Amino acid sequence: MREMQELIQEVNSTLVEMLGSSVKILPGILGGVVVLFLTRFIAKTVRRLSFQISRRALKNRSLHTLIAQISFVTAWVCGILAAAILAFPSLDLASIIALLGFSSVAIGFAFQDIFKNFLAGILLLIQEPFQLGDQIVVSDYEGTVEDIALRSTQLKTYQGETVVLSNSLVFTSPVQVLTARSARRTDLAIGVDYNTSLPLALETLAEATRGIEGVLSVPQLEVDAVGFGDSSIDLVVRYWTNPEKREVRQTQSRVMLALKKACDDAGINIPYPIRSVYLFDQKQFSDNEAQRSAQYANGHN
């Protein structure tokens, strides 16, 4: 009975001690929670201000996003550290550094793909191989760059779909920037009949292409004879347009209409594919070995 009383007293004293400790750390925990709520507001404000300042100071739109996001993350890290120190006063700077060092290793293994995309995003924003609004081809995707974030790059396809690509894929893949230059060349193939005068055909196609809406005068267009096809002499009309996909597509339609009309007016025939079929007597050919031997013997008699 006495042992039971001692045990109860020990339990009571432990509970009282725990309650006292909880009461002592409760203000710190509440203060840490308040700091986190304030950090949420402060981080958004810092991101907005940093974006506005960078937009005035820098012309690179990608760097505006980078600076704003780094400022946002930095504000959150500072707020979390301040909340942790306030909630647990026994933590010192050395303990926090040690904890961050240990945590960084564990988090690095667990979130290596996220960090890989994060670093790739920073490099893309700094090196700027393409900008917002550029039309690019990455892997099997083609479209207009709508956003370059720290973890992903967002494209809008020509069909109006949204494609989100990881920055690591964009950074390690060949990227074809269609709007990197002020002009873009289109090579349009066309075939003419073998009876056609080539100088006449070249001049007719060149004159038909000049002056078409969307075709640039500089660089100059070219019309080349490139080969002898099965049923036609193959020509290629090379002309330059503005680099945007819509401009390239619409100008190509206008050029094709003009070339067809010019050929009709000049009496230049654009032939259909021609195939020649030869018929012969199948009785002269046989798989029968005896017949072949007889034919061979008769041939030597």
Q: Domain coordinates of the chain in residue numbers? A: 8-110, 129-177, 184-266
What phi-psi label fits residue 73: left (phi over 0), alpha (psi between -120 and 50 degrees) or beta? Answer: alpha
Higher pLDDT, 62 or 262: 262
Split at pLDDT 50, 70, 90, the class of 121 is confident
DSSP 282: G
> How far is the C-alpha of 40 from the C-alpha of 48, rounded, in Å?
13
Nearest of 227, 245, 246, 248 to residue 236 by alpha carbon: 227
Alpha-carbon 290 to chain mean position: 68
63-115 residue pLDDT tens: 777 788 788 888 888 888 787 777 776 666 566 666 566 555 555 555 577 78
Report the chain's mean pLDDT, rounded to a whole number.
Answer: 81
166-208 residue pLDDT tens: 999 999 999 999 999 999 999 999 999 999 999 999 999 999 9
* Helix and strand element counts for the chain (H, E): 8, 8
Question: Class assignment of domain 129-177?
Answer: mainly beta
Nearest of 123, 240, 124, 130 to residue 180 by alpha carbon: 130
Is 184-266 in CATH node 3.40.50.2020?
no
Is there a contact between 292 and 286 (Cβ–Cβ < 8 Å)? Answer: yes
Q: What percent of the chain has pLDDT over 70?
A: 73
Higher pLDDT, 76 or 252: 252
Higher pLDDT, 197 or 1: 197
In angstroms, the first-to-last Cα distance of the chain is: 134
What phi-psi label fits residue 18: left (phi over 0), alpha (psi between -120 and 50 degrees) or beta? Answer: alpha
